[in-house]
Amino acid sequence: MTLFSWPNRTENFVGVGTKAALLALAVFAVAITFANLAVPVGSALHIPDYIVALLGKFLCYAMLAVSLNLVWGYCGILSLGHGAFFALGGYAMGMYLMRQIGTRGVYGHPVLPDFMVFLNYKELPWFWTGFDQFWFAALMIMLVPGMLAFVFGWLAFRSRVSGVYLSIITQAMTYALLLAFFRNDMGFGGNNGLTDFKEIFGFELQSRETRAGLFFASAVFLGLFVAITAFITASRFGKLLVATRDAEARTRFLGFRPEKVKLFVWTLSAVMAGIAGALYVPQVGIINPGEFAPANSIEIVIWTAVGGRGTIIGPVVGAFLVNGGKSWFTGLFPEVWLFVLGALFVFTTLFLPKGVVGTVREAWTTRRSTASRVTKRNEGCIQTKNGDQTQAVAAE
């Protein structure tokens, strides 16, 4: 029996809810892109550029929540440092975008970014080599978060660190990276980070078409991540993930290696988070050490919990709900947002432990089960009544 035994048919791993969610995402992406590019600016149906950028950012957050859900919802690994993988992917993309500026920078240096000229760098650091090519940057976007996650996970899972201890270590990891990237001598822009991007793939980054393209690409990758999650969780490996989450000691007793299961899904989740960060940076126009802040990683946990961990589309719903509320609250009542966020997490923990999607799914399942029992009972009564009538006729 192989560890990876994938379902043979698409229907086996893409349920009705997942299909509906992917279809809704496709319609949403096409509709927003069309309303932004094809509908005239004065029309009531036109979507402004800033809304497209905001929704693109939400899509990246949703990808990040999906990546966390893969390890927390299905494997029981509560990561409080997933923002680190997101930020590393963002920095890799930012380095590529900085190399595309060339002589259009403030200081006009053909090779060195502006902050390096300002800090009197004489030559480009060795770790910036290759970032003028997108294929290399794309490789680093996946490789750097993936390698960090692999090394971290190999050490932690091999030592059987789990539970709250693992969560604390992941938070320490992202905080250490925060302090490191704040240093000017690290070569990543220090406190200011990387910004003032000009173009991507030869297209002006501020143009409407480019922003719409980035939004659409974010939607495509979100759909891909949702499909990957559905694919994995419906496979035999997915069952092993859940077994590791619910009874790790028993899973080990049965002959499996839970540390290998954890290491694989942990590394895959980090790669997904890095891709989300890479799509995030060109849409917001900056990446700085603030993305490593532990508070950001805690917010990712809240998105996943509110939407419903252990569900396919719950993290997407949670990311949009929480960040939509954040955009509204910080515009009207900026001083109370953190209190609202904390209250939301407490409310979810006490009254919606399965999240919005999990609660709705449970209610729907209960309702269908009750209706099925009622139907069967009514059919039984009808059959009994018909049988009695038949016996009465025969007796006559």
Over its length of 396 residues, how does the chain's per-residue pLDDT go in tens digits? 455 454 444 345 557 778 889 999 999 999 999 999 999 988 889 999 999 999 999 999 999 999 999 999 999 999 999 999 999 999 999 999 999 998 898 888 889 999 999 999 999 999 999 999 999 999 999 999 999 999 999 999 999 998 999 999 999 999 999 999 999 889 999 999 999 999 999 899 989 999 999 999 999 999 999 999 999 999 999 999 999 999 989 999 988 999 999 999 999 999 999 999 999 999 999 999 999 999 999 999 999 999 999 999 999 999 999 999 998 888 888 888 888 888 888 888 888 888 998 888 888 878 777 766 766 666 666 565 555 555 554 555
**The two three-digit tokens of residue 147, written as one number:** 């390698």
Buried b (16+ CB within 10 A) or exposed e, 357-370: bbbbbeeeeeeeee
Q: Is the dihedral of CA 223, 224, 230, 231 positive or negative?
A: positive
pTM over 0.75: yes
Same domain for 381 and 315: no
Mark whether 286 and 385 lie in a shared domain: no
Same-domain check for residues 284 and 390 = no
Is 320 found in the same domain as 186? Answer: yes
- The reply to whether 121 and 185 lie within a common domain is yes
Residue 95 belongs to some domain of the structure = yes
CB atoms within 10 A of CB 228: 15
In a domain, 2, yes or no: no
What 3-state class would DSSP assign to 256?
Answer: coil
Classify the C-alpha dihedral 244-245-247-248 as positive or negative.
positive
Residues 42 and 130 in one domain: yes
Q: What is the dihedral of CA 132, 143, 67, 300, to 10 degrees?
A: -70
Taking a C-beta distance cutoff of 8 angstroms, is the pair 314, 69 a contact?
A: yes
Looking at the chain, the number of H-run helices and the number of E-run strands are 15, 4
**Backbone φ and ψ of 275, nearest 5°:** -65, -40
Q: 164 with 107, same domain?
A: yes
b (16+ CB within 10 A) / e for 8-26:
eeeeebbeebbeebbeebe
Domain-located, residue 3: no
Q: Is the same domain home to 33 and 146? A: yes
Q: Residue 389 sits in which domain range?
A: 354-396
Tokens of residue 126, six digits: 């060795």
Q: What is the pLDDT of residue 8?
A: 47
Q: How far apart are CA 330 and CA 327, in angstroms?
A: 5
Distance (Å) of CA 370 to CA 15, 117, 315, 367:
21, 70, 28, 5
